[in-house]
Amino acid sequence: MCQNAATITFCTCEPKPSAVHNKNSRRARKDKAVQEVQSYRWSLHKITGVSEQTMDGLLIEPDHAFNGELTAESILKELNTRNCFDFAYEPNDGDSLGIVENGVGKFISFIFESGKWTIGSPNPFTHQVTKFNSGNVRFED
């Protein structure tokens, strides 16, 4: 899947479950190779109050790219150019969007401030956030 020529859509649909096959069959090995294509999940959060967490631990900084073609900057450009969501959504200041690469643990995070998306996220030690929508990232030509 060539992602640099594709537009990104944050889809609320769930992927179709694949059939379960005998693990020793040739078809199961072939299906496993197909399933190894990387997929991404997204979630939207709203700031709902002041955090009650104490300052124990460290923040994990988000990544700046999943690969050479799919970077935080390229996603940010899409977010600020058009509505990338497959549902009616008007972002409000403080809304945050997180994207996670399944099976790898890499993530990129954005926050809506002053009428536009920026790279970043709310501080969990100062803000309480609540997830209000999630789904899969889809790439389309």
Expressed as residue numbers, the domain containing 26 is 7-140
pLDDT digits (tens, 9 = 90+) for 102-141: 877 788 899 999 999 999 887 766 777 888 888 988 887 6
pLDDT of residue 4: 47
**Residue 36: what pLDDT?**
41
38 found inside a domain? yes
Residues near 52 by beta carbon (within 8 Å), at least 6 away in sequence: 128
Q: What is the pLDDT of residue 1?
A: 38
User: Which pLDDT value is given to residue 97?
Assistant: 92
What is the tally of structural domains in the chain?
A: 1
Q: Is residue 81, in this structure, part of any structural domain at all? A: yes
Note if the pTM is more than 0.85: no
Inside any domain, residue 2: no
SS3 118: strand
Residue 84 DSSP SS3: coil
In a domain, 54, yes or no: yes
Among the listed residues 131, 6, 1, 14, the one whose alpha carbon sits nearest the alpha carbon of residue 78:
6
Low-confidence ranges of the chain (pLDDT < 50): 1-5, 31-37
